[in-house]
Chains A and B, each alone.
Chain A
């Protein structure tokens, strides 16, 4: 089955760190650019980060630059989001999404993993 499954979310104190994982299955993972998108409670979607198929290119939204790091492990078919210096504003459901091979759009999403930053 073609799917993405996120894990690693949870409750963390302000200033803390968390590592999110996204496991891919059912498709040729190494060919795809992968993204993280988050959704705050009751709010809309916000693009967070992107990593290219070979991992050589990474981008971040300004609000997480210097705090979040995206990486991938092709052998394990996984993409990660290392988050540090977390603030309450980072509380959200984090989705892993796949970018289509040819056209630029998100054609596959995971179910998301919730992150709560609170003391």
Chain B
């Protein structure tokens, strides 16, 4: 079971929008609604941004939105702010015999 595929890096200017993709298979993203997105600042624990493809936990800005089409999920961050510069990871439940959850490789977001 390989990691979900994310772009290594994306960038955008303050106020702009960026979208991060996350590609899996029918055994994970394509088969379940259990797709989540996390933000991680250096040296910190991951922070949940999106769960169940498109739901936001309380306290998370509506600048963060999620979607899914087939085996690819996406995270869109609108109105980029300097504090958004971080690493972003997707995750999905999987039916793989070798593991129960699979994460993306991570995407470094740079705010120009």
Number of A-B contacts (CB under 8 A): 64
Instruction: Establish whether residues B101 and A35, one from each chain, have CB atoms under 8 Å apart when the complex forms.
Output: yes
Q: Complex: how many Å from CA A44 to CA B46?
A: 11
Residues from chain A with Cβ under 8 Å of B45 in the complex: 95, 109-112
Question: Which among A12-20, A23-31, A81-89, A99-107 touches the partner chain?
Answer: A99-107
Interface residue ranges of B82-109 to A (CB < 8 Å): 89, 91, 93, 98-106
In the complex, whether A46 has a CB less than 8 A from a CB of chain B is: yes
Instruction: Establish whether residues A105 and B52, one from each chain, have CB atoms under 8 Å apart when the complex forms.
Output: yes
**Known: A44-B105, A45-B89, A95-B45. Contact between A103 and B99, CB under 8 A?**
no
Interface residue ranges of B49-94 to A (CB < 8 Å): 51-52, 55, 57, 89, 91, 93
Give chain A's interface residue range (CB within 8 Å of chain B): 20 to 34
Q: Complex: how many Å from CA A45 to CA B98?
A: 16
Interface residue ranges of B1-47 to A (CB < 8 Å): 3, 32, 34, 36, 38, 44-47
Residues from chain B with Cβ under 8 Å of A46 in the complex: 3, 103
**Known: A95-B46, A105-B52, A106-B36. Contact between A44 and B103, CB under 8 A?**
yes
Residues from chain B with Cβ under 8 Å of A103 in the complex: 34, 51-52, 55
Q: Most chain-A CB neighbours within 10 Å: which of B45, B100, B104?
A: B45
| B46 interface neighbour in A45, A59, A62, Cβ under 8 Å | A45
Residues from chain A with Cβ under 8 Å of B3 in the complex: 44, 46
Residues from chain B with Cβ under 8 Å of A61 in the complex: 98-99
Using a CB–CB cutoff of 8 Å, the interface residues on chain B facing chain A are 3, 32, 34, 36, 38, 44-48, 51-52, 55, 57, 89, 91, 93, 98-106
